[in-house]
Amino acid sequence: MLLFFPVLFPTQLQAEVKRVVIIKLDGVPENVLERELARIDPLTHKSTLPWMDHVFAQGGTRLDNFYVRAISLSTPSWSLLDTGQHLEIHGNAEFDRYTYHVYDYMNFFPFYVGYARSLRVDMPGVEVLDSLGIPLLIDYFPYAATYQSFQIFQRGVRWKTLQDALPSRLSHSLRELLDEWTIGFEIGSAVEDQTERELIAKLADPSVQYLDYFTGDFDHIAHAASDAASQRLALQRIDALIGRVWTAIESSALAAQTVLIAVSDHGMNTQPGVYSQGYNLLQFFSSRAGGGHHVVTNRHPLDEYKLSGLDPFVSEVVTPSDESLYLKGQAGDYPTALLDPDGNERASVYLRNSDFNALQILLLQINRPALGGTAGKESDPAIRRAAIAAFFQIVDRHRDEWSSTVRELSDELAALRRAMEQRRSEIKSQPKKWTRAQRDAGLDKASRRLSVELDSWREQERDYSAYLSALSKLLDLEPAEFDRRRLTAGDLIPKRAMGDANSVFDLQNYIVGPAPSDSLDFERINYPKLLSGLSVRNNVQPGVSSRPVDFIAMRIPDHAIWLYADEDHQALILSHPGELRYLAIRGLRQDAAGAIHYDVAPLAPGFPLRLFEDENLHVPDTNREEWFSAWHSELDWLHATHETTYSNAIIALDEQFLEPAAPSGSNLLARFNHRRRRLAEPDFLIFANDHWNFNVRNFNPGGNHGSFLRASTHSILLFAGGADTGVPRHFEIREPYDSLSFVPTILDLMGRHAEAAKLPGRPIQELLPGPTARHSSSASHTTCCAATSSTQAPQDFR
């Protein structure tokens, strides 16, 4: 057998991949692709997508069950696919709670202009990953051996591509150029066409090992239209692209050693005949009932979509509330809610720390004129003394926490200043001019990154220092200071800052204004309960729920994620190393001391994710209650749930709320960057019910994504390879995999096993050389789901 083994399996043993070509398809769902692949064109009697059928279905390998590991948004989804590392970026836009900085990951225009002015080198998402030391897949290859298209995680800009693409499209009148369809599609398609021409030309160069091409065409169409014909046309354009690229690969010198891959970042919750309904969360949070917040978004809302809405350089828009209970006219200095509704089946919500609200309201009480008095006179002495005492009770409650923040952040900023001095010296030593060979090696861009990072450090040092200064004033304040001078919010409350994240107690007792009575109490809102109860009265689609909110999710202490559907239907996703557990509960609350209490509930229909009642839940032939009472590995959860309505939501939620590991050792800069990532986390996420969306810029009627619904998380992954690559032909893999498997699989295919082994994802074994893995691909894996333990989580914990 040993003698005949190389003869029986020559391809597997001699597999060689020298080049990988990736077609990145934004938002293409597996079910729509399969629908169009199976559809026969009555004129040609072939598949509606003939090239994809020929290259991948007949000549390559398809994964039937490939899923977004985390939330089904473009930026976090592509970050998983581009790095193979656990999630660090959790939304399409993120906000820093201390400095108000907006991470606007999908806004290309400021990036291009900044690049032209030598102020930027890489897209914002790449800058964040670089600060954490996380490489992209493209970084595994020499700079000169790569070709990258325009995309979210983009390094550098090829001006020649833009120069060659745009002149023919810039002959429109001003009115035509202002039309968003002209800008979005005509210019965008011109750049894509030029990128394709360059990619095909690069295929003739055997030294190029990595090439990718990104298109968002299908995602744009599917957001706007749910009919099959429109989506078919978008897929047929992609199909023709794949045909042209495959033809170029086959005629290249590395045809036999090239692997072509088509992958999408997420699916799309789109259904013919159903409109995706929009609910305006911005309007809700601005309203009296929603708290009267001044709300910040990274784009203009729909009701302002005029010339101001066309400004491509906007990353921060404040929508003032006329119903604020204590901050009217102060939206610029004191916004109290940050909202990212992009996605659009979910929204991330940052609320100003509830105790910051209380301090500002108490300051108004302290400085309020006496009843019946005139402006400038003091308020009732007893009320004033009580307000001052209440003010210091809040400060004292946070004193240890705030003092620790001031001490630690001061050390980190001192380290940042030292790094800035070193960087200035490093920049001075860089060449003033670059040779052609140095540019071809990307050394000029590497040098410019040093300057860009230094500019970013200056901004961080300035903004965090301002926040520390305000916090230090609060800590140094003494009651007698109120008798010496009139102190206002501008003296003590950090402007344009949310402060620390709100706890469950804060959100269940959130302070939105002074109490209606003439007392020192506050008006409060229980946000989980209020949001879950939202409903509309004019629902025009009987098949769509009148309640836009599915559930709210947030991280709570002890490595748990709280899912709230209503008071009686809640769940905890509990985690400890290597295992997860779903626990149905009711009535979770947190007391003022920080202890969390809840009642364990018997499993029944209606709990978040609706797994218990889902007929596609695959668990062993035992009692479902017994299975849910145990801990299970990620793989067991994936096998059990991937075909349910919420697919891999248990794993995806754990990934979405995964606490980043604190850096080890005494590296203060690493600790500072870790802190900045934590400060970019929202208080909670709101997930929309099926066929609802929260996109206040443009309520996409065709379909949306952003949730954990299978329609949104089920993406595509297709492989086709030359004769020497070992990629199987006409092969389907039914075993479920997720985003973290993508990069290690590519590295393993290229023989870079040591690098692949350092990544957390599970390589797709069925694609890799070796007969055993191939034969296991079609086996059923539901027997893998046996319970591993029955550890009971405590009902009360801190």
**pLDDT above 60 for 483:** yes
* C-alpha–C-alpha distance, residues 169 and 177, integer Å: 9
Instruction: Among 6-10, 674-678, 722-726, name the one with the lowest average pLDDT.
Output: 6-10
Look at residue 8 in the predicted model and tell me its pLDDT. 43
Look at residue 538 in the predicted model and tell me its pLDDT. 83
* C-alpha–C-alpha distance, residues 334 and 294, integer Å: 8
Asked whether residue 257 is domain-assigned, the answer is yes
pLDDT (mean) for 112-131: 91
Look at residue 375 in the predicted model and tell me its pLDDT. 44
Q: Which of 410, 124, 60, 457 is nearest to 263 (CA)?
A: 60
* C-alpha–C-alpha distance, residues 129 and 646, integer Å: 29
Burial of 681 (0-12, 13-18, 19+ CB in 10 A): buried
Helix-strand-coil split of the chain, %, nearest 5: 40, 15, 40
CA distances from 467 to 350, 463, 497, 503, 563 (A): 17, 7, 8, 21, 32
Q: What angle do CA 646, 649, 651 make, to 5 degrees?
A: 150
Strands of 416-460 (E only): list them: none
Look at residue 15 in the predicted model and tell me its pLDDT. 76
* C-alpha–C-alpha distance, residues 454 and 567, integer Å: 49
Model confidence band, residue 545 (pLDDT cutoffs 50, 70, 90): very high
* C-alpha–C-alpha distance, residues 132 and 128, integer Å: 7
Asked whether residue 753 is domain-assigned, the answer is yes
Asked whether residue 628 is domain-assigned, the answer is no
pLDDT tens, 19-55?
Answer: 999 999 999 999 999 999 999 999 999 999 999 999 9
Asked whether residue 485 is domain-assigned, the answer is no
Q: Count other Cβ atoms within 10 Å, centred on residue 464.
A: 23
pLDDT (mean) for 532-557: 93
Look at residue 350 in the predicted model and tell me its pLDDT. 98
Backbone phi, then psi, for 693, in 5-degree steps? -150, 160
| Comparison of pLDDT for 687 and 440, the residue scoring more | 687
Name the strand (E) or helix (H) holding 128.
helix 124-131
**What residue has token string 């539901």?**
782
Contacts of 441 (CB under 8 A, 6+ apart): 142, 143, 144
Contacts of 124 (CB under 8 A, 6+ apart): 103, 104, 105, 107, 111
What domain range includes position 78?
A: 2-88+135-273+707-786
pLDDT tens, 642-692?
Answer: 999 999 999 999 999 988 778 877 899 999 999 999 999 999 999 999 999
Name the percent of the chain lying above pLDDT 70.
88
Look at residue 312 in the predicted model and tell me its pLDDT. 73
**668 close to 332: Cβ distance less than 8 angstroms:** no
Burial of 512 (0-12, 13-18, 19+ CB in 10 A): buried
**777 close to 733: Cβ distance less than 8 angstroms:** yes
Q: What angle do CA 14, 17, 22 make, to 5 degrees?
A: 150
Number of H helices, E strands in the chain: 30, 30
Look at residue 163 in the predicted model and tell me its pLDDT. 67
Model confidence band, residue 183 (pLDDT cutoffs 50, 70, 90): very low
Asked whether residue 410 is domain-assigned, the answer is no
| Comparison of pLDDT for 161 and 94, the residue scoring more | 94
**What residue has token string 């498997």?**
741
Per the structure, the count of domains in the chain is 1
Look at residue 303 in the predicted model and tell me its pLDDT. 67
Length of the chain: 798
* C-alpha–C-alpha distance, residues 76 and 152, integer Å: 10
pLDDT tens, 417-434?
Answer: 999 999 999 999 999 999
Backbone phi, then psi, for 435, in 5-degree steps? -75, 165
Q: Which of 518, 527, 530, 515 is nearest to 326 (CA)?
A: 515
pLDDT tens, 321-340?
Answer: 999 999 999 999 999 999 99
Look at residue 646 in the predicted model and tell me its pLDDT. 97
**What residue has token string 């086996």?**
779
Q: Cis before residue 344, ω within 30 degrees of 0?
A: yes
Name the percent of the chain lying above pLDDT 90.
76
| Comparison of pLDDT for 551 and 658, the residue scoring more | 551
Asked whether residue 762 is domain-assigned, the answer is yes
One DSSP character per residue, 764-791 reads -GGGSS-HHHHHTTTS--GGGG---B-P
pLDDT tens, 125-175?
Answer: 999 999 999 999 999 999 999 999 999 999 988 766 766 666 555 445 544
Q: Count other Cβ atoms within 10 Å, centred on residue 603.
A: 18
**pLDDT above 50 for 781:** no
**85 close to 722: Cβ distance less than 8 angstroms:** no
| Comparison of pLDDT for 528 and 378, the residue scoring more | 528
**What residue has token string 């800052």?**
497
Look at residue 466 in the predicted model and tell me its pLDDT. 96
Enter the tokens of residue 507.
């959100």
* C-alpha–C-alpha distance, residues 447 and 365, integer Å: 55
Instruction: Among 300-304, 441-445, 481-485, name the one with the lowest average pLDDT.
Output: 300-304
Look at residue 10 in the predicted model and tell me its pLDDT. 42
Task: Cite the DSSP H helix spans in 595-633.
Answer: 624-628
Mean pLDDT of the chain: 89
Instruction: Among 231-245, 270-284, 775-789, name the one with the lowest average pLDDT.
Output: 775-789
Model confidence band, residue 780 (pLDDT cutoffs 50, 70, 90): very low
One DSSP character per residue, 531-600 reads HHT---S----TTS-S--EEEEEEEETTTEEEEEEETTEEEEEEEETTEEEEEEEEEEEE-TTS-EEEEE
Asked whether residue 329 is domain-assigned, the answer is no
Residue 757 maps to which CATH number?
Answer: 3.40.720.10
**365 close to 351: Cβ distance less than 8 angstroms:** no
Q: Which of 675, 686, 489 is nearest to 98 (CA)?
A: 675
Model confidence band, residue 343 (pLDDT cutoffs 50, 70, 90): confident
Look at residue 162 in the predicted model and tell me its pLDDT. 64
| Comparison of pLDDT for 114 and 60, the residue scoring more | 60
Kindly provide the b/e burial profile for residues 467-494, where b requires at least 16 CB atoms within 10 angstroms of the residue's own CB.
bbebbeebeebeeeebeeeebebeebbb
Model confidence band, residue 771 (pLDDT cutoffs 50, 70, 90): very low
pLDDT (mean) for 536-554: 92
**214 close to 238: Cβ distance less than 8 angstroms:** no
| Comparison of pLDDT for 259 and 521, the residue scoring more | 259
**pLDDT above 50 for 374:** no
